[in-house]
């Protein structure tokens, strides 16, 4: 379990993390989302004791990271997959980590096999591709067989097969009862991987909800009524319930925020004749962009606009 309570971090006058309070529970993958500069990496660094909070606390199983007797056996993390001495080969890098934490040498070969690097264990890390570097970082995170894992953009540099592998790995780790926190900008991948979402913007908590609930808030219901008067009646009642309604061609209304069951029951109660009733599967990307639209710190000009000379 990762616990954040009022976690705040200032750099000079800039507040990078602002009173964050949430839990990352074991047994599920928690996606940690937010625009560039939102404070995700800083938050993870505070969990790992690499940055000191200005106020508040970040705990792992009820203790600060600095209080853990065998940190690598309790928490594994990948924050920067390239932070490996380029002249050291993969196996020697992991051996140094293992021996400094009282972990048997045999575990090194085990995790190299798990991440698919057994055949290049003697290759220097400086010659690794970005994807191979990611795999080596993940091997280091798994080395102590920890119950808590943090991954910052773990699919960077991985090919499609590697992306699928890390997705399956994270889900299997959560299934084993571990706490898994992963940040990513790949919304489609998070929709496939995460069970829970924590979204922050400008250091503040914007959402903490299951993926299905987060996406459901943006789901659109399409309903077709052949009679214009009946369309107007249904639209009037739906807007009266606080739902957004847009009329389109072909006798269709698009209802945002409602459900198929709710719209269908209302139409039945009003005695209206329907020719169609379906719901969109709104993507996580759409829901995320709507939520964070006003939280982007580094915004580019709209498409089609070009900077002047």
Q: What is the pLDDT of residue 309?
A: 44
pLDDT tens readout for residues 254-296: 998 788 999 999 999 999 999 999 987 668 888 888 889 888 7
Q: Which two tokens stand for residue 264?
A: 């269908």
Residue 147 has pLDDT above 80, yes or no: yes
Mean of per-residue pLDDT scores for the chain: 91
The residues that bridge with 8 in the sheet, in sequence order, are 55
**Strand ranges inside the chain, DSSP E:** 2-11, 14-24, 28-33, 55-60, 75-78, 148-152, 179-183, 196-201, 204-210, 220-224, 244-248, 252-256, 276-279
CB 219 within 8 A of CB 259: yes
Please state the φ and ψ torsions of residue 70, each to the nearest 5 degrees: -130, 80
d(C-alpha 302, C-alpha 80), whole Å: 31
Dump pLDDT digits (tens) for 99-124: 999 999 999 999 999 999 999 999 99
Q: Quick one: what percent of the chain has pLDDT higher than 70?
A: 94
Tell me the pLDDT band of 301, cut-offs 50, 70 and 90.
Answer: low
CATH H superfamily, domain 2-211: P-loop containing nucleotide triphosphate hydrolases (3.40.50.300)
Query: Is 85 a residue whose pLDDT tops 60?
Result: yes
DSSP string for 156-169? TT--HHHHHHHHHH
Residue 32's nearest CA partner among 174, 138, 166, 180 is 180
Class of domain 219-281: alpha beta
Of 211, 209, 208, 180, the C-alpha closest to 195 is 211
Residues of the chain with CATH 3.30.70.790: 219-281
Closest Cα to residue 55, out of 104, 103, 106, 4? 4
């Amino acid at each position: 379990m990762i616990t954040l309570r009022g976690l705040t971090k200032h750099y000079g006058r800039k507040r990078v993390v602002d009173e964050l309070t949430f839990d990352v529970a074991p047994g599920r993958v928690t996606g940690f989302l937010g625009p560039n500069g939102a404070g995700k990496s800083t938050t993870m660094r505070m969990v790992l004791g690499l940055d000191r909070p200005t106020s508040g606390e970040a705990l792992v199983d009820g203790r600060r990271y600095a209080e853990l007797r065998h940190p690598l056996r309790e928490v594994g993390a990948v924050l920067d997959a390239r932070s490996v001495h380029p002249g050291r080969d993969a196996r020697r890098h992991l051996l140094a980590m293992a021996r400094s934490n009282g972990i048997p040498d045999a575990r090194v070969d085990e995790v190299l096999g798990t991440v698919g690097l057994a055949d290049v264990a003697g290759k220097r890390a400086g010659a690794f591709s970005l994807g191979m570097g990611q795999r080596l970082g993940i091997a280091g995170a798994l080395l102590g067989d920890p119950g808590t894992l943090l991954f910052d953009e773990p699919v960077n540099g991985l090919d499609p097969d590697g992306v699928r592998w890390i997705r399956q790995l994270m889900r299997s780790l959560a299934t084993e009862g571990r706490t898994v926190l992963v940040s990513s900008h790949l919304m489609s991948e998070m929709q496939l991987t995460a069970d829970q979402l924590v979204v922050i913007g400008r250091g503040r908590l914007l959402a903490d909800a299951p993926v299905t609930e987060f996406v459901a808030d943006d789901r659109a219901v399409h309903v077709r009524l052949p009679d214009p008067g009946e369309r107007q009646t249904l639209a009037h009642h739906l807007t009266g319930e606080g739902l957004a309604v847009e009329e389109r061609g072909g006798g269709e209304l698009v209802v945002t925020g409602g459900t198929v069951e709710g719209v269908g029951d209302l139409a039945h109660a009003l005695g209206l004749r329907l020719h169609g009733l379906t719901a969109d599967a709104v993507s996580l990307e759409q829901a995320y962009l709507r939520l964070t639209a006003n939280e982007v710190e580094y915004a580019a000009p709209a498409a089609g606009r070009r900077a002047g000379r």
